Amino acid sequence: MEAITGKVQERLDEGFKKTNQTFISVMERLATIDEAQKKIDGLTTNMVSLQELLGDKRSRGAFGELQLEGLIKNILPPDSYSFQHTFSKGVRADCVLFLPDPTGTVAVDSKFPMENYQKMFDVKLTDIDKAKAQKQFKLDVKKHINDIASKYIITDETSDGAVMFLPAEAVFAEIHAYHPELIQEAMAKKVWLVSPTTLMAVLNTARAVLKGC
């Protein structure tokens, strides 16, 4: 009986030890999952904050300007650009690039109208509302092209073209893929549409030209 009791106690001790180890392991995994959940919650909060940022017109303008500023400062020498530059007729551009002739001074606008673009893909809206948003988006972009051309292309002061900075690659792709009439309008008005990626290519080319001068 003593031998049997000893064996039973030994088995119980082993079982308790294994159960305790399993419990500790489960708690560690739960802690890891909890930490991961906190990161996911944080990411969700950041995404909501970004959506709120892009939903506000003034904040969205500042977001585009910050993107533009970061790209230009990282690529071009300080004496080859100016932010919030005011021209002789009183209009102020988000940025101007001082490039060698024959290009000269080029204005860059970063205040792209995003409201109706966002509505085009809003799952809460009906197909009719999305279609209305798409129609208005095209009108917004066309107006923006004409505004840039009239304000930032100045005889004997700037280049014969100006730049429209699109703050997202998706917007650039949308216009080129589905709205060729807007591309034609921009070309006719000598307004160059660029995304962050294409602007980087333009700026790197400009830097190479500036180094060769």
Runs of H (alpha helix) within 56-179: 57-75, 115-120, 127-152, 169-178
Q: Residue 40 pLDDT more than 60?
A: no
| pLDDT, position 211 | 82
Confidence (pTM): 0.71
CA distance 62 to 43: 22
Token reading at 144? 């923006």
Q: In what order do the strands lie in the sheet with 191-194?
A: 81-86, 92-98, 105-109, 162-165, 191-194
pLDDT at 50 over 60: no
Beta pairing, strands 191-194 & 105-109: unpaired
pLDDT in tens, 113-150: 999 999 999 999 999 999 999 999 999 999 999 999 99
The C-alpha torsion from 71 through 72 and 74 to 76, rounded to 10°, is: 150
